[in-house]
Amino acid sequence: MAEHRITTPVTDEVIAKMRAGDRVYITGALLCGRDSAHKKLVDLIKEGKDLPIDIKGQMIYYVGPTPARPGKAIGSAGPTTSYRMDSYAPILLSLGLKGSIGKGSRSKEVKEAMIKYKAVYLASVGGAGALISKSIESSDIVAYPELGPEAIRRVKVKDFPCIVINDMYGGDLYEEGKKKYRIA
């Protein structure tokens, strides 16, 4: 297992170096959003309209943070279960989104789209929202403020910790783990 320190936005070449099980530390900007925001984005795409944000080369963190305490950039920012975005992810990947960060497994369709469009799925540790928020230096709402905690945010991160679950080659850390401990 390798370790990668990456800066966003990312390219196909950066994604190509990552394999399931690798550790990744992200510095730069991440988009943040959950299912309500994803639905709005995909509805715009289906209507042939422009998105309110540029997703090409970006990574999106599936999170709905709690309000920030005084002097803090963000509140607790633990990952949301990713399958809730599975019906929206393939179309966003087709438009240049390079990765997503959440918790839990992805659907077959999302895994196939990651291979086709050269993208990755990273996991962040569930239940560690307060710890994760320490990697977030700033947070700004960039679209859909009416969604409150589910608004799309751009957060500036430094050494944001993740693990590659699905790589662009079809590698799946969760499936590999199941095989390793399967009893014959």
Task: Out of 20, 33, 38, 121, pick the active-site residue.
Answer: 38
184 has a pLDDT exceeding 70:
no
Show the domains of the chain with their CATH numbers. 3-181 (3.20.130.10)
129 has a pLDDT exceeding 70:
no
CA distance 100 to 114: 10
Average pLDDT over residues 61-67: 86
How far is Cα of residue 36 from the mean position of the Cα atoms in its chain? 15
| pLDDT tens, residue by residue, 84-104 | 999 999 999 999 999 999 999
Measured CA distances, 21 to 46, 124, 146, 174 (Å): 35, 12, 37, 9
| pLDDT tens, residue by residue, 172-183 | 999 988 888 876
Secondary structure of residue 159 in the 3-state scheme: strand
Give residue 71's pLDDT band: very low, low, confident or very high (50, 70, 90).
confident
Report how far apart the first and last C-alpha atoms of the chain are (Å, whole number). 26
58 has a pLDDT exceeding 80:
yes
Q: Which helix (H) or strand (E) holds 101?
A: strand 99-102
Q: Is 4 a catalytic residue?
A: no
Q: What is the mean pLDDT of the chain?
A: 92
